[in-house]
Amino acid sequence: MLMLAVKNGTLDSLGPLFERYHVKLFNFFLRLTSNRETSEDLTQSVFQRILRFRHTYKENYPFRAWMYRMARNLHADHYRKHKRSMETFDESHHAEDSEQLAVDAMENKERKQNLLEALHRLPLEQRELLLLSRFEGLKYDEISQIKGITVAAIKVRVHRAMARLREIYFESSENGGNAQ
């Protein structure tokens, strides 16, 4: 309803949408990039795109799925531009940013740091899928609309991603981590 108002010219209605979603979006980007500044810029860019492309919003399309679709595209652009540095990050489980993020957000709890590190060891596609389904609380049919594949395929991929995460997480904890 609010997005429809934005589309019809009541731009102020974007305010409540921003208030509702910006922290979620920021955290989505933060867990993908491990960089606060980049995540704030990407969050801002999502709302810029929503404004710019408001005329293309379709009434029957769920707003949240539309918004995360833009968020994914923006992150994909960002990832392409900064691939080299991000690959370095992905391969390094002890990168400074990763540690800083874990220290800030996880209140120095090594167990939670292990979890974040395990997440970062997943391939980007699997990490993104788990962020959408677990952290952002999206239903499989919403994710299926965002990614343009069937709900059945999403189920299979989430299952594989969870299996991989479980493997990494419990393997790392057995190798000296503090996880349960």
Partner 1 sequence: MKCEKISRQMTALWENSQEPSLPEDVRRHLGQCESCREEWEQLSVLMAELDAVEEVQPSTRLRENFYSMLDNAKAAPESGSGPKNTLIEPTIWKFTPWAGSIAAGLALLLAGFWIGSQQTDSLVESVPQPKTVAAQELESLQGQIESMKEMMAVYMMEQRSASKRIQAVGYTDEMSKLSPDLFEALRQRLNQDDNVNVRLASLNALTRFAHQENVRAALVDSLPRQIHPVMQIMLIDLMVGIDEKRAREPMQQLLNSAITPLEVKDKALRGLGQLL
> What residues line the site for partner 1 (CB under 8 A)?
2, 9, 11-12, 14-16, 18-19, 22-24, 26-27, 30, 36, 39-41, 43-45, 47-48, 51-52, 104-106, 111-112, 115-116, 130, 133-135, 137, 139-140, 155-156, 158-159, 162-163, 165-166, 169-170, 179-180
Could you tell me the smallest distance in angstroms from the CB atom of residue 79 to partner 1?
A: 18
42 neighbors 29 (Cβ within 8 angstroms) = yes
- Distance in angstroms (rounded) separating the CA atoms of residues 34 and 167: 22
Could you tell me the smallest distance in angstroms from the CB atom of residue 92 to partner 1?
A: 21
Q: Which of 40, 36, 38 is nearest to 101 (CA)?
A: 36
Q: What residue spans of 34-106 are helical by DSSP H? A: 36-52, 63-81, 83-91, 96-106
Q: For the chain, first and last CA: distance in Å? A: 45
The residue among 10 and 85 lying less far from partner 1, judged by its C-beta, is 10
116 neighbors 98 (Cβ within 8 angstroms) = yes
List Cβ neighbours of 9 (8 Å cut-off, separation of 6 or more): none
The residue among 84 and 107 lying less far from partner 1, judged by its C-beta, is 107
The residue among 123 and 137 lying less far from partner 1, judged by its C-beta, is 137
Could you tell me the smallest distance in angstroms from the CB atom of residue 73 to partner 1?
A: 14
Could you tell me the smallest distance in angstroms from the CB atom of residue 172 to partner 1?
A: 12
Centre a 10 Å sphere on the Cβ of residue 136 and count the other Cβ atoms it contains: 19
The residue among 51 and 87 lying less far from partner 1, judged by its C-beta, is 51
Could you tell me the smallest distance in angstroms from the CB atom of residue 162 to partner 1?
A: 5
At 72, the amino acid letter reads: R
The residue among 52 and 58 lying less far from partner 1, judged by its C-beta, is 52
